[in-house]
Structure 1
Amino acid sequence: MRRPPTKRPRAFGFDVFGTVVDWRTSIARESAGFLATIGRGDLDAGHFADAWRSRYQPAMARVRDGQRAFVILDVLHREMLVDLLGRHGVDVDALDPALVTEWSHAWHRLDPWPDAVAALARLRALAPVVTLSNGNVSLMIELSRRAGLEWDAILGAEHARAFKPAREVYLATAAACGVAPGDFCLVAAHHSDLAAARKAGLMTAYIDRPMEYGGAPAPDRDQRQDWDYEADSLTALAAQLEAST
């Protein structure tokens, strides 16, 4: 049986999309309304959300690979949306730019998983909790205020000027908290994210979110490892850590 670390993390960095908030249900709901507005209610909103999300890593990879300068995720989300609409034959130039911007900002309006708000408060009682997300600061502020998520700081990609899984994002976030990498724990629902964090020297906590992709298998399931902590909810993670005090 796997044993958790003998020392407790001095700070927690949270992946947000999928770990703390339910992006797929939220984006499908938001997109259904916008698709109806532009007369494309024939498109399945769930599939549309999946297709939008599938452009996420390729868009960030062009920044990581040096093909373009760093831009915040809001910029990439809008570009992904424009590309996706074009693939469905929508003349984006004929749409109101304000509508396209508001649609792209659907990522600011994601609902938290039911356990997130209360569990974050419990974890904050143990150590600082910060975002370690690819989301930009303004996105994280609006999302967190709407969802009732309380952080000690909003850090991650915009602070590091790089996107995960680049090593510097994890190290810059730990450094901003004044914590050594080995005392800083990434909490995430994604094995690929955790693998990169572990390679950078961080502690790891895996949260199982079987409905992140609507019940479909996670694309990074083949990267599973024996993580420092594993739980089926943030509530269960908080209970594990509280019991270790």
Structure 2
Amino acid sequence: MTGFDHLGFLGFDTFGTVVDWRSGVARSAAPFLDRHGIGVDPFAFADEWRALYQPAMEEVRSGRRPWVRLDVLNGENLRTVLARHGVAVDELPDRELADLNQAWERLDPWPDSVEGLTRLKRRFAIGPLSNGHLAGMMRLARFGGLPWDVIVGAEIARSYKPTPETYLRSAEAVGLPPERVGMVAAHNDDLKAARACGLRTVFVRRPHEHGPAQTTDLAPAERWDVVVDSLTEAANALGCP
């Protein structure tokens, strides 16, 4: 496709774009909630946990807090959500909390993801350009069969998207200028920040990322370079066999 012929790397938002975080977190949370008598719907629990994601990262982005990995933030947020529901968190076994926190590493790919990534990989180097930490991204890839070439993103940059450093240092890490990198995401804000850094943009609609009542990112907010409904459609649009 014109404009993508010179690209050497496609970076992918992962949580929501490549994998279904909501269903996976709810699946891991359900037996934990049941075992401890916590009367919260597992999907509502996943939503509540995820709602703390951006505020926690903003503490780091703003400089109010030194760099810490996403698994640390997720673990702190988990304890916050449990405490909100009257759970005596300090009385829970650490191993149970750690295992539930690793729910973010046991997320199913969307049905089109593995096939689409496999095809895109035939033409481009590919990898997560995610806020996830390296070890978590590795384990998530092994869980879901995601065929990454490399892992870049927040831990490489020691900064969280959508700060420019996350995109620019990721491009530098794969040895390419920003104009030879594409960002693939289901989130308009992610693509807006990537475009401002010189990256090409691919918007993938994921209308059920946040469940059946989703109201955000249902349509492209700008004229992204490519707009598709799946990663297999992205492979078609970018001329990948």
Give the alignment's Cα RMSD to 1 decimal: 1.5
- The aligned counterpart of 1:215 is 212
Alpha-carbon distance in 1 for matches of 2:166, 2:220: 20
Q: How many residues get paired?
A: 240
Alpha-carbon distance in 2 for matches of 1:57, 1:221: 19
1:92 positional shift: 0.1
Residue 204 (str. 1) matches residue 201 (str. 2): yes
TM-score norm. by structure 1 comes to 0.94
Contact kept in structure 2, 1:190 and 1:206, CA below 8 Å: yes
Residue 96 (str. 1) matches residue 79 (str. 2): no
**1:164-206 deviation line (CA, Å, top 9, x unaligned):** 0010010111111122111210000000110110111110000
**1:122-144 deviation line (CA, Å, top 9, x unaligned):** 00100100110000011001110
- The aligned counterpart of 1:19 is 17
2:34 to 23, 33, 36: 36
Specify the code of the residue in structure 2 equivalent to 1:12: L
Alpha-carbon distance in 2 for matches of 1:150, 1:7: 21
> Structure 2: any 5+ residue segments left out of the alignment?
none
Q: Name the SS for the 2:128 alignment partner.
A: strand
Residue 132 (str. 1) matches residue 129 (str. 2): yes
Q: 1:115 and 1:221, CA in 2 relative to 1: closer, same or farther beyond 3 A?
A: closer
Contact kept in structure 2, 1:21 and 1:112, CA below 8 Å: yes
Alpha-carbon distance in 2 for matches of 1:54, 1:12: 27
1:10 positional shift: 2.1
Alpha-carbon distance in 2 for matches of 1:219, 1:188: 13
- 1:48-59 equivalences in 2 (<5 Å): 48-59=45-56
- 1:1-245 equivalences in 2 (<5 Å): 5-8=2-5, 9-40=7-38, 42-219=39-216, 224-242=221-239
Contact kept in structure 1, 2:27 and 2:42, CA below 8 Å: yes
Q: 1:223 and 1:126, CA in 2 relative to 1: closer, same or farther beyond 3 A?
A: closer
Specify the code of the residue in structure 1 equivalent to 2:14: V
Q: Name the SS for the 2:210 alignment partner.
A: coil
Query: Structure 1 residues 31-40 or 51-60, which shifts more?
Result: 31-40
TM-score norm. by structure 2 comes to 0.96
**1:72-113 deviation line (CA, Å, top 9, x unaligned):** 000000000000000111000111011011111110101110
Contact kept in structure 2, 1:74 and 1:104, CA below 8 Å: yes
Contact kept in structure 2, 1:195 and 1:223, CA below 8 Å: no
Q: 1:178 and 1:70, CA in 2 relative to 1: closer, same or farther beyond 3 A?
A: same
